[in-house]
Amino acid sequence: MNYTLHQLQIFLKIAQNQSITKASEELHLTQPAVSIQLKNFQDQFAIPLTEVVGRKLFITEFGKEIARAAEKILNEVHAINYKTLSYEGQLAGRLKISVVSTGKYVMPYFITDYIGKHKGLDLVMDVTNKTKVVESLGNNEVDFALVSVLPERLKIDRVELMENKLFLVGNARPLKAENLSKKRLFEELPLIYREPGSATRNAMESFITRNRLPVRKKIELTSNEAVKQAVIAGIGYSIMPLIGIKNELLNGDLRIIPVKGLPISTTWNIIWLRAKKLSPAAKAFLDYLDSEKEHIIRDRFGWVSAY
């Protein structure tokens, strides 16, 4: 056996994504380079690590065992690097954060300078829907989560970041039904929904249910970006977080439709398990938020107050 750490890293990514294409994207390598490293790694084992069925790549049971071993080895390597940096007096470690999909417009601004100040820190940020975010937090797979709706079944601590406003939005074309009552307006508009498990969808459905509004559901999409593009294209309308449509509002691609009872207002929160023993990197991040939060909100999100 003469495999390298690089090969272990590549195979682990392939196993996690079950795709050479996705692994190459995450590793910022070409597909041929990843395929060559996979072949070189496979050549060192008599038992297949992968198999292709119907043009789809699958990881064999043996391959899954090797992937688990590779993850343990790579984690130990990271630990050695972090310990070395710590002995040199640097803050070091890995910070894992799970972020609801709309939170990708928020979280980078609260983490960039912190990571930049500490070269020994690695950031792993997973962007997904609320259900998976809460699941990863509950399974203690991450240090922090960014949510706009607090989970009910977990004992957590939190830091409030900023307000999250959701408006009814449409594309640039004039809306003939705009002067109708709220009930008639929602009867007329084809609505675009996020997927089940999304906090944005939950907020939208709660507003509709609370106001007993009849709706004409048009389509369901699995990301905020997909909803945004569908609204711009004129497929329908949606209730969307303001934070994700700044440029489109400024460019005139989208516009806010005034509706009594909107915007819906929630709060972005950084949360963590109350019983979790936070790493030095995680504790330092909370200290950073305490001292810099208001400055970041004023400089980066001051525009929100205009809506």
Give the model's pLDDT for residue 178: 56
| Segment 53-82, tens digit of pLDDT | 888 899 999 999 999 999 888 877 777 766
Residue 66: what are its φ and ψ, rounded to 5°? -65, -40
Given this model, what pLDDT does residue 88 score? 61
Unique residue bearing structure tokens 């056996």 = 1
Alpha helices in the chain (DSSP H): 5-17, 20-27, 31-42, 61-87, 107-117, 130-138, 182-188, 199-210, 224-233, 246-251, 280-301
282 and 147 together in one domain: yes
Predicted confidence at residue 55, as pLDDT, reads 84
Total domain count, the chain: 3
Q: Which residues contact 5 (CB under 8 A, 6 or more apart)?
A: 73, 74, 77
Whether residues 11 and 65 share a domain: the answer is yes
3-state secondary structure of 101: helix
pTM here is: 0.70
Question: What was the pLDDT predicted at 177?
Answer: 55
Question: In the chain, which stretches have pLDDT less than 70?
Answer: 81-90, 92, 176-180
Q: Is there a single domain that holds both residue 62 and residue 9?
A: yes
Q: Give the CATH number of the domain where residue 145 resides.
A: 3.40.190.10
Residue 240, pLDDT score:
94
List the domain range (segments joined by +) for residue 156: 91-162+267-306
Q: Is residue 304 classed exposed, middle or buried when 0-12, 13-18 and 19+ CB atoms within 10 A define those classes?
A: middle
pLDDT for the residue numbered 37: 93
The residue from 83, 116, 141 where one domain ends is 83
180 shares a domain with 62 = no
pLDDT more than 90, % of the chain: 60
| 179 and 249 both lie in a single domain | yes
